[in-house]
């Protein structure tokens, strides 16, 4: 088969691929990920690039005649037949962006040790729980007595005996590779060695035996694998200190923006392989950067804990997720066994361990179990709620007695998918919007203050709220064509509202909100709210009975609660009930990495949580439809919004 | 590097090897193992072959001028420089021989099940112990309820849940490879699968998941890996029935006859590699033959238990044994972890398990622990003794309260090493000898009744006893040059005794016993006896206090107790105290394979046994020297021999 050379601009990045490879796959190979919401189905039109050279492309309606004339093609529908030069416009590229890396409030105390050597969790709600400091992998320096004729137990027994002098480990394991090296190693290091002891599926494994005393150098990685974003911490397992945090795009986004499109892609030839490598490469790059910056040897990273939704965990381990998208939505595994990180392709010490936080069901994964762990919800006396608004909107309700959860299929709208100018919160993304109801004047704030190139989630929440407040859309979300505002225009067959005109934008095109966008956004917000309400109702409660609502997810930090309530995304309860926790998935992964007690706890949490399949509930469709209004059909559910509207009207 | 083609006769076997490879290594490659007692050191002279072609050979004293003229060279000292034709004479070849494959008395009951489904052990001594039938790997057919929206636990949880319905397994493991296959497998087999559950280092592993009901097909291999001989059983794990037994030479013999020369060879470049492959290839060939004969699919062999001395176990697993030959004689491991058989190169089901019976020390290995298990010594009320006369002579003394053991470095003389006409009990080996004390007439019986080509262990024991009885050697073992017997001759610088003259032998040369041979044999028998006596004395006992003496090892079956006592190899106690048990190592391996209770017991035995290092005892040299007489310096220790001698003199 002929090989084709595909050169990407900017950056002059090159991929040499087989003839017939599509440009989307080539871009990943070249290290220049390109957006694609639909997973390469040619539907979303997000992967527009300009191409020159030998290729075959399918004409698609997502491209205007102008664009086609200018050489634009859809990368996913264009296959190389020879060498190709590709130029990727900014709106199609995934670049390093403003991603939540702090762990906000909960993170403040996670990883700190009290004098007793324990990890403290000190939440605002006044709960206090202490996990013992028992990392997934610990190092133990041993000064072994050399063998004599009187004390001639085998090398392995000598090692075990000395370990057991300081640790109570009834069942210990060691791999053959370590047994093979043992004899030479012990003698070559004058019987002074450091063992790394890892907790592995109910037993303790002697993961490593190293010459000399290396016990001061023991590191681990805690990784939150989101559908959209991957965030990794490098942690000193001895002190619990976070040495660095790194966030990047999940490069799988090129193959589909939400988990369903990824699962569909995984069913294609080589699909699973590609998705697996995309996430593994991203995690490896992060860990490599982190150790580089911290001056840590990669071999001293002895374990990793990953928390992700069920699809992400499956793709990380290259386990076929396809069964999850068909009724009855059953994943191959919720709690996957601890494996050697190398088995999954994760580059730390070649014998290092990888543990994935267990999930509950196909659509409530380890990220949520980790979130519950981090939030302390499972120990709360009064019922609390955790809402994680990622690409899925997962909701947990409960306390120390019971835990229920559901997933709301929020869709990717709040993360920039399925909306015309949607993008993630990167350079040039509109994240704050204000509309003067009288003059229809628009003020926007972009990430980095750069010229606007698109709108991110918090920007869309503002838009919806402000457009509603200014009467540009009605409570059903219909753009009012007769609104006295020049920004409202009919484009093709739908009404649109322009935030930034082409002349001021960073793309040379209008940055606008279309009727279809509004409909999508309302469906997303309605799905989250309806799910939360269903869950509360199922327990015979109302939102008033919920003591605290924790907001998790990378999105959480930029979420303006007041405006979210205004559009009916979040329930209208006193603002002081809301607690921003930031990336609870990462915080939980870190706890599980640093404390085996926390790891056991998160397994317990995953087992305790009762998953509620909303699709199976006949009441859900009504609840959902009732939520497709701004803020809701039943305005009494949103008293403060009602009040605000009444004030405005006055 | 040039490749050379080495052709071996008989059999026209070919090896293509790198220039510079010695002919001994080439012979192994070609599948024609050649004897070499010294491990390729050019010392023993056992690897004589006739060579033509392009090679370099070192002239060696072990070859007579005649032999050199006839084209004989030492295979270990001859390196190929181009193509070579090699003819291996019968005495240099290792061929399939008469090897003990029955397991004699103890074997009769091992593997039989009582109605309660248990393995019975019913020894002559009247002990009775029942091990539950809990094989190392069991198969369990599961008819899983297909998932529904109401019962949507993950595939893995569903599997675990169903397993736990019939088995109490708190800690269960599964490898990533099985998790990956699970989703497709369960659905493809209509939720009817068979799991193979293996016991692995304190937990239970789901080793295999197969579609449909394969629970009727579950097999295991029990293997005794002797320094000289490898014997394997194929066992139906469901019924405990032995489907077949196969014995072959340990092909490592080409690299040295005893464990010390193997360890020395292992230290050479590629030495460990070669020794490892030699034993693994032999075991694989055996298993392949056994499954072929029994009509069993190799994939249905799910586990193997190997029992061998400590060196054999290390070489099987390719663990460097070199430390064991230097004071304080410490092995890397006595109890090695259960591994996947494939990790050691053993070909059964690719995910099948390999467990090695644990040993006690560098020179008392898993074969002896297995022997104790099989003999029931560890449960005896009165003290009993187990003597295993293999290439080492290991001795165990004890009862249910205590167990001590030692190794006697018997040397390979009784297995045909270090003696001029020595050979193993194969076709043409003299195994019975009678000498008329009046006429000096000799009657020999050979294995298979073939013309004599050498003398095996039992033949040498007879020789020594008969030559002593006929006054051909005195009690110090000196051949009486003035004996009135034409068979006594001076050859070169020593006296010899001819058993079969060249004209009647199968080799065209005299089959004889030299003074050096007698000295070697006396050292061997002296070492075993002295060790046994030391061990008894250390416990403040005499042989009279020993209730039974069990004889184990492949040699055991051919050992004539009366004649062994006559030369002072075995203690002079009433014959009814002796119990032949045959291959106790294999019998123990089989028990451990069929019953996890027995496996735990043998671990307990290995831990309970106190190893006595005879070299470290100042009394040993005197005991040893006192044993270098026929039967012993202190004739009072051998009252029946004394009586017999007195009768003869009369």
Q: Cβ distance A417 to A258 under 8 Å?
A: yes
Distance from CA of A99 to the nearest CA of B (A): 32
The closest of B358, B225, B240, B235 to B284, measured between CA atoms, is B225
- Would you state the pLDDT for residue B446? 84
Residue A103 counted as domain residue: no
Instruction: Please tell me whether residues B406 and B544 are part of one structural domain.
Output: yes
Six-digit token string for B638: 């051998």
- Would you state the pLDDT for residue B582? 77
Contacts 24+ apart (CB under 8 A), A559-563: A559/A389, A559/A457, A559/A458, A559/A461, A560/A458, A560/A461, A560/A462, A563/A461, A563/A462, A563/A465
Instruction: Please tell me whether residues B265 and B339 are part of one structural domain.
Output: yes
Contact A336 B153 (CB under 8 A): no
Residue A346 counted as domain residue: yes
Higher pLDDT, A465 or A615: A465
Q: Is the pLDDT of residue A177 over 90?
A: yes
A169 shares contact with chain B (CB less than 8 Å)? no
Distance from CA of A171 to the nearest CA of B (A): 6
Q: Is the pLDDT of residue B286 over 60?
A: yes
B contacts of A156 (beta carbons < 8 Å)? 332-336
Q: Smallest Cβ distance to B319: which of A179, A201, A327? A: A179
**A195-202: average pLDDT:** 92
Q: What percent of chain B has pLDDT over 90?
A: 61
Residue B125 counted as domain residue: no
Tally C-beta pairs within 8 A across A and B. 161
Instruction: Please tell me whether residues A326 and A240 are part of one structural domain.
Output: yes
Residue B254 counted as domain residue: yes
Q: Where are the beta strands (DSSP E) in A456-514?
A: 488-491, 494-500, 511-514
* Closest-CA residue of chain A to B182: A332
**B450-to-A41, A140, A446, B244, B482 alpha-carbon distances in Å:** 80, 64, 99, 27, 32
Picking from A184, A211, A238, the residue at the C-terminal end of a domain is A211
Mean pLDDT for all residues in chain B: 87
**Chain segment A389-437, per-residue pLDDT in tens:** 877 889 999 999 999 999 987 877 887 778 899 887 777 889 889 898 8
Measure CA of the first residue to CA of the last residue in chain A; give whole Å: 73
B contacts of A187 (beta carbons < 8 Å)? 323
Q: How confident is the model at residue B103 (pLDDT cuts 50, 70, 90)?
A: very low
The closest of A487, A534, A494 to A514, measured between CA atoms, is A494
Distance from CA of A29 to the nearest CA of B (A): 25
Q: Which helix (H) or strand (E) holds A646?
A: helix A639-649
* Closest-CA residue of chain B to A202: B171
Q: How confident is the model at residue A35 (pLDDT cuts 50, 70, 90)?
A: low
A 118-147: CB under 8 A from B: 147
Q: How confident is the model at residue A650 (pLDDT cuts 50, 70, 90)?
A: low
Contact B179 A317 (CB under 8 A): yes
Contact A155 B343 (CB under 8 A): no
SS3 content of chain B, % helix, strand, coil (to 5): 35, 30, 40
- Would you state the pLDDT for residue A555? 57
Phi-psi region of B456 (alpha: psi -120 to 50; beta: other; left: phi over 0): beta
**A576-to-A290, A558, A643 alpha-carbon distances in Å:** 36, 17, 18
Distance from CA of A9 to the nearest CA of B (A): 38
Q: Cβ distance A411 to A228 under 8 Å?
A: no
Contact A328 B152 (CB under 8 A): yes
Q: How confident is the model at residue A554 (pLDDT cuts 50, 70, 90)?
A: low
Phi-psi region of A616 (alpha: psi -120 to 50; beta: other; left: phi over 0): alpha
Distance from CA of A174 to the nearest CA of B (A): 7
Residue B19 counted as domain residue: yes
Q: Is the pLDDT of residue A115 over 50?
A: no
B contacts of A318 (beta carbons < 8 Å)? 180
Residue A582 counted as domain residue: no
Residue A335 counted as domain residue: yes
How many other C-beta atoms lie within 10 A of the C-beta of residue B23? Answer: 29
Q: Which ranges of A397-545 would DSSP assign to H, the alpha helix?
A: 457-469, 515-538
Q: How many domains does chain A have?
A: 4
Higher pLDDT, A582 or A549: A549
B 348-387: CB under 8 A from A: 361-362
Instruction: Please tell me whether residues A204 and A226 are part of one structural domain.
Output: no
**A382-387: average pLDDT:** 95
What CATH number is associated with residue B187? 3.10.20.880
A342 shares contact with chain B (CB less than 8 Å)? no
- Would you state the pLDDT for residue B40? 66
**B228-236: average pLDDT:** 92
Picking from A40, A61, A92, the residue at the C-terminal end of a domain is A92
Q: Smallest Cβ distance to B152: which of A157, A171, A361? A: A361
**A83-112: average pLDDT:** 54
Six-digit token string for B198: 């293996």
Instruction: Please tell me whether residues A141 and A20 are part of one structural domain.
Output: no
Contact B183 A319 (CB under 8 A): yes
Instruction: Please tell me whether residues B468 and B532 are part of one structural domain.
Output: no
How is residue B146 annotated by DSSP?
A: P
Could you tell me the sign of the dihedral formed by the alpha carbons of A461, A467, A469, A475, in that order?
Answer: negative
**Chain segment B241-282, per-residue pLDDT in tens:** 999 988 888 889 889 878 999 999 999 999 999 999 999 999
Higher pLDDT, B171 or B371: B371
A 383-442: CB under 8 A from B: none
B164 shares contact with chain A (CB less than 8 Å)? no
What CATH number is associated with residue A251? 3.30.420.480
Q: Is the pLDDT of residue A649 over 90?
A: no
Instruction: Please tell me whether residues B351 and B285 are part of one structural domain.
Output: yes
B contacts of A173 (beta carbons < 8 Å)? 201-202, 337
Six-digit token string for A170: 């009834």
B188 shares contact with chain A (CB less than 8 Å)? no
**Residue from B181, B185, B280, B337 whose CB has the most chain A CBs within 10 Å, to mutate:** B337
Residue A113 counted as domain residue: no
Q: Cβ distance B105 to B376 under 8 Å?
A: no
- Domain span at residue A42 reads 3-92
**B553-573: average pLDDT:** 80
**B538-549: average pLDDT:** 95
Distance from CA of B237 to the nearest CA of A (A): 26
Q: How far, in Å, CA of B337 to CA of B153, rounded?
A: 33
**Chain segment B494-514, per-residue pLDDT in tens:** 999 999 999 999 999 999 999
**Residue from A179, A343, A363, A407 whose CB has the most chain B CBs within 10 Å, to mutate:** A179
Contact A344 B176 (CB under 8 A): yes
Distance from CA of B150 to the nearest CA of A (A): 8
What CATH number is associated with residue A64? 3.10.20.30
Instruction: Please tell me whether residues A49 and A19 are part of one structural domain.
Output: yes
Q: Smallest Cβ distance to A176: which of B174, B180, B317? A: B317
Q: Is the pLDDT of residue A114 over 50?
A: no
Q: How far, in Å, CA of A590 to CA of A135, rounded?
A: 10
Distance from CA of A314 to the nearest CA of B (A): 9
How many other C-beta atoms lie within 10 A of the C-beta of residue A449? Answer: 8
A 613-632: CB under 8 A from B: 613, 615-616
B610 shares contact with chain A (CB less than 8 Å)? no
Mean pLDDT for all residues in chain A: 87
Q: Is the pLDDT of residue A100 over 70?
A: no
Instruction: Please tell me whether residues B439 and B429 are part of one structural domain.
Output: yes
How many other C-beta atoms lie within 10 A of the C-beta of residue B564? Answer: 26
Instruction: Please tell me whether residues B225 and B348 are part of one structural domain.
Output: yes
Q: How confident is the model at residue A33 (pLDDT cuts 50, 70, 90)?
A: low
* Closest-CA residue of chain A to B146: A328
Higher pLDDT, B235 or B88: B235
A contacts of B330 (beta carbons < 8 Å)? 147, 152-155, 158
Picking from B492, B521, B550, the residue at the C-terminal end of a domain is B521
Distance from CA of B466 to the nearest CA of A (A): 41
Q: Smallest Cβ distance to B176: which of A175, A317, A613? A: A317
Instruction: Please tell me whether residues B517 and B546 are part of one structural domain.
Output: no
Q: Is the pLDDT of residue B117 over 70?
A: no
Contact B156 A187 (CB under 8 A): no
B 300-339: CB under 8 A from A: 317-320, 322-323, 327-337, 339
Instruction: Please tell me whether residues A62 and A147 are part of one structural domain.
Output: no
| C-alpha B478: how far from chain center | 32
Contact A155 B323 (CB under 8 A): yes
What CATH number is associated with residue B396? 3.30.420
How is residue B5 annotated by DSSP?
A: E
**Residue from B175, B183, B193, B607 whose CB has the most chain A CBs within 10 Å, to mutate:** B183
Q: Is the pLDDT of residue B323 over 80?
A: yes
Contact B318 A187 (CB under 8 A): no
């Amino acid at each position: 088969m002929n090989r084709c050379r595909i050169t990407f601009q900017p950056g002059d990045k090159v991929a040499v691929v087989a003839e017939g490879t599509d440009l989307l796959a080539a871009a990943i190979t070249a290290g220049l990920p390109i957006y694609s919401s639909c997973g390469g189905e040619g539907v979303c039109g997000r992967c527009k690039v300009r191409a020159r050279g030998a290729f075959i492309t399918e004409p698609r309606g997502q491209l205007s005649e102008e664009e086609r004339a200018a050489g634009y093609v859809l990368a996913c529908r264009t296959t190389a037949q020879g060498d190709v030069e590709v130029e990727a416009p900014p709106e199609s590229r995934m670049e390093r962006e403003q991603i939540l890396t702090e762990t906000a409030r909960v993170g403040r105390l996670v990883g700190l040790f009290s004098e007793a050597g324990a990890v403290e969790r000190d939440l605002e709600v006044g709960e206090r729980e202490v996990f013992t400091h028992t990392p997934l992998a610990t190092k133990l320096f041993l000064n072994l007595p050399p063998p004599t004729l009187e004390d001639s137990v085998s090398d392995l027994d000598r090692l075990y005996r000395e370990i057991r002098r300081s640790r109570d480990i009834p069942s210990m394991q060691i791999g053959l590779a370590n047994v093979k090296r043992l004899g030479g190693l012990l003698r070559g290091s004058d019987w002074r060695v450091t063992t790394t002891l890892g907790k592995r599926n109910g037993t303790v494994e002697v993961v490593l035996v190293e010459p000399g005393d290396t016990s001061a150098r023991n590191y681990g990685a805690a990784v939150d694998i989101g559908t959209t974003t991957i965030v990794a911490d490098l942690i000193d397992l001895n002190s619990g200190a976070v040495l660095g945090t790194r966030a990047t795009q999940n490069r799988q986004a090129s193959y589909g923006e939400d988990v369903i499109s990824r699962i569909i892609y995984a069913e294609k030839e080589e699909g699973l392989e590609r998705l697996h490598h995309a996430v593994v490469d991203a995690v490896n790059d992060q860990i490599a950067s982190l150790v580089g910056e911290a001056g840590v040897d990669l071999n001293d990273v002895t374990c990793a804990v990953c928390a992700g939704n069920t699809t992400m965990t499956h793709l990380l381990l290259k386990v076929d997720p396809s069964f999850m998208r068909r009724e009855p939505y059953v994943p191959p595994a919720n709690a996957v066994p601890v494996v050697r990180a190398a088995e999954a392709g994760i580059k730390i010490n070649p014998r290092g361990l990888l543990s994935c936080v267990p999930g509950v069901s196909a659509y409530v994964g380890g990220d949520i179990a980790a979130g519950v762990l981090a939030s302390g919800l499972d120990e709360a006396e009064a019922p609390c709620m955790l809402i994680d608004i990622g690409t899925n909107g997962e909701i947990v309700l409960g306390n120390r007695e019971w835990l229920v959860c559901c997933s709301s299929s929020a869709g990717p709208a709040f993360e920039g998918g399925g909306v015309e100018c949607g993008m993630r919160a990167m350079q040039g993304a509109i994240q704050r919007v204000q509309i003067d109801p009288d003059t229809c004047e628009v003020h926007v704030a972009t990430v980095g203050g750069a010229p606007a190139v698109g709108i991110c989630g918090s920007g869309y929440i503002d838009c919806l709220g402000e457009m509603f407040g200014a009467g540009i859309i009605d409570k059903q979300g219909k753009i009012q064509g007769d609104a006295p505002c020049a920004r409202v225009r009919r484009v093709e067959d739908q009404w649109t509202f322009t935030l930034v005109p082409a002349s001021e934008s960073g793309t040379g095109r209008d940055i606008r909100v279309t009727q279809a966008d509004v409909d999508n956004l309302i469906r997303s917000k309605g799905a989250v709210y309806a799910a939360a309400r269903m869950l509360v109702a199922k327990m015979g409660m109302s939102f008033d009975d919920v003591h605290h609502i924790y907001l998790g997810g990378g999105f959480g930090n930029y979420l303006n609660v007041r405006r979210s309530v205004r559009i009916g995304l979040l329930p209208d309860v006193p603002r002081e009930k809301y607690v921003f926790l930031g990336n609870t998935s990462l915080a939980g992964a870190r706890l599980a990495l640093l404390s085996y007690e926390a790891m056991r706890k998160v397994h317990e949490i995953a087992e305790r949580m009762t998953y509620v399949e909303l699709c199976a509930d006949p009441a859900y469709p009504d609840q959902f439809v009732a939520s497709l209004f701004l803020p809701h059909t039943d305005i009494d559910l949103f008293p403060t919004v009602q009040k605000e509207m009444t004030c405005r009207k006055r």
